[in-house]
Chains A and B, each alone.
Chain A
């Protein structure tokens, strides 16, 4: 199986394709109703989570199982500050990534010397702690009953501003990932994933870059969580259930781990499928799980791999015709 090394679809093909997709997505609200706008809004939320997790786990190789917890931390931070302490919403949203990035920093520091297996367990334990904490401190967080969160936009045209908000955030996250992976940091992260010891021998300060990856990824998740709270109007500990983390993993793997567009496609695709086939219930997850297993086992690159093959095929056809 041929492995592509740098996983951005670079060049004009990639750019035009991305722009086309972006255009369609920007115009979507004019074609669809409220329902599908909501579906896409949530999809964009997951795009943010999937992309930021891919940065840490896919590219940097730090397979963290705590990503959903950072979203929850961000969400609850903003919600509590706004609902219980009367902070203005924008301040709450500003505080969210600060708290989630701080927790990410701490977790990263604790996990620095851990081997991959222990990292998975430690991050899992961290996420479970967050879940338990939120449930247990129900006097403050309202626990399983759910915390009511003041909404960001009031008034008519309910779905539209949220749609573009999350679209913007998702696009920003994707751009951030592109920027990082094209920079020296991107090289360092990939090197760390490939062989951390050799990376150090080559002069990479693996500590600094791993921590930075943790901070960026958890901070981004925190922002997403905060906006989600102010969109949904309600936060519950369900968002920090292990199922949510499994969901993120599924999206990234199906979309294509270690690619920029993979998490984007994966998140949108899975979210659309989940909603469209709602009446099929559990079968959806069975199908997704099987798809993940099949992809991990047979075709590592996921949906992005298919996209890339198609584009290559198109290029080759074009070249053949030119002779």
Chain B
């Protein structure tokens, strides 16, 4: 499902920097806001996909700034307890962004126009936006996959995830890598926000559900595992849909969550274990 993008962002950032960014949902929200502004004031809804891209770029830049100010110092030795620091700072960031959204844009709910007309998948009706968002997600995930496997940068990131010290000796500037990785991670969240903006509307709290779904996928799929995210994303979507169809649709979110709890109890590290970092 589309929230795989969230999970991908969380996992990617974790893989490079070994921190959990608790404000991912807020970057999703910012992506949504940017998308709304772009398509209602500038490009128009026909160019929604351009809007998505631009939102991603905007949030990417924001992410780099945030990383440089807040996260990088963790690695420069000025902070003692990294995990605690990262958690505190990213939680504070999420509070900051959410409240700034209320101040900046008011507690209103914005709904950008839908991206596409309603269609059907086999016999199930599906809203146009969701359909298109799903396609968009697949495209982005595919591009991300290509990026990781085929480009130089992508391989550098893979290297960093496996052996941080090793790639430094190979002459790569790890701090630069960190910054870009963070930017990419939150850009993915923004993409999700931009894609789902017409469906779930744009308002200061829209990030919370995204964070939740993102973490659900992470727990199920395993932190730090890219295939895990993909599988878990599909699995979660499947379980929720099946539950909604065959059981009570109003408990849709709960089914996924119950599955998450089951995974936590049985295999807390998720379906796919993370590969241990060597150095």
Partner-B contacts on A (CB < 8 A): 3, 57, 61, 63, 65, 110, 114, 116-118, 120-122, 124-125, 128-129, 132, 136, 242-243, 246, 249-250, 253, 281-283, 285-286, 288-290, 292-293, 296-297, 300
Distance to closest chain A CB from B232 (angstroms): 13
Task: Flag if A283 contacts B103 (CB, 8 Å).
Answer: yes
Judge whether B124 is part of the interface by a CB distance below 8 angstroms: no
B20 touches A297 (CB 8 A): no
Question: Given the interface contacts A125-B215, A125-B261, A286-B100, does A63 sit within 8 Å of B87 by beta carbon?
Answer: yes
Task: Kindly state the separation between the CA atoms of A114 and B219 in the bound complex, as whole angstroms.
Answer: 13
Q: Which of A125, A242, A250, A297 contacts B73 (CB 8 A)?
A: A297
Taking the nearest CB of chain B, how far is it from the CB of A117, in angstroms? Answer: 6
Cβ of A250 and Cβ of B92 under 8 Å apart?
yes
- B87, A293: Cβ atoms closer than 8 Å: no
Residue in B closest to A253 when the chains form the complex, CB atoms:
B88
Across the interface, which residues of B come within 8 angstroms of A117, CB to CB? 14, 18-20, 83, 223
- List A contacts of B102 (CB < 8 A): 281-282
The answer on a CB contact under 8 Å between B93 and A125 is no
Assembled-state Cα–Cα distance A242/B94 (Å)? 11
Residues of B59-111 at the interface with A, using a CB-CB cut-off of 8 Å, are 70, 73, 79-81, 83-85, 87-89, 91-96, 98-100, 102-103
Number of A-B contacts (CB under 8 A): 102
In the complex, A268→B223 CA distance in Å? 37
28 inter-chain pairs at a CB distance below 8 angstroms, sorted by A residue, are A3-B80, A61-B84, A63-B84, A65-B87, A110-B264, A114-B268, A117-B83, A117-B223, A118-B223, A118-B269, A120-B20, A120-B87, A128-B212, A128-B257, A129-B261, A132-B254, A243-B95, A246-B95, A250-B95, A281-B102, A282-B103, A283-B103, A285-B95, A286-B103, A289-B93, A292-B92, A293-B93, A297-B73
Check B88–A249 contact: CB distance below 8 A.
yes
Tell which of A61, A117, A122, A124 has the most Cβ of chain B within 10 Å. Answer: A117
Flag whether B218 is at the interface (Cβ < 8 A): yes
Known: A288-B95, A289-B95, A292-B92. A122 touches B87 (CB 8 A): no
Complex contacts, B261 vs chain A, CB 8 Å: 125, 129
Query: Which residues of B have CB within 8 Å of A288?
Result: 95
Across-interface contacts of B93 in A (CB, < 8 A): 289, 293
Partner of A290, one of B88, B96, B208: B96
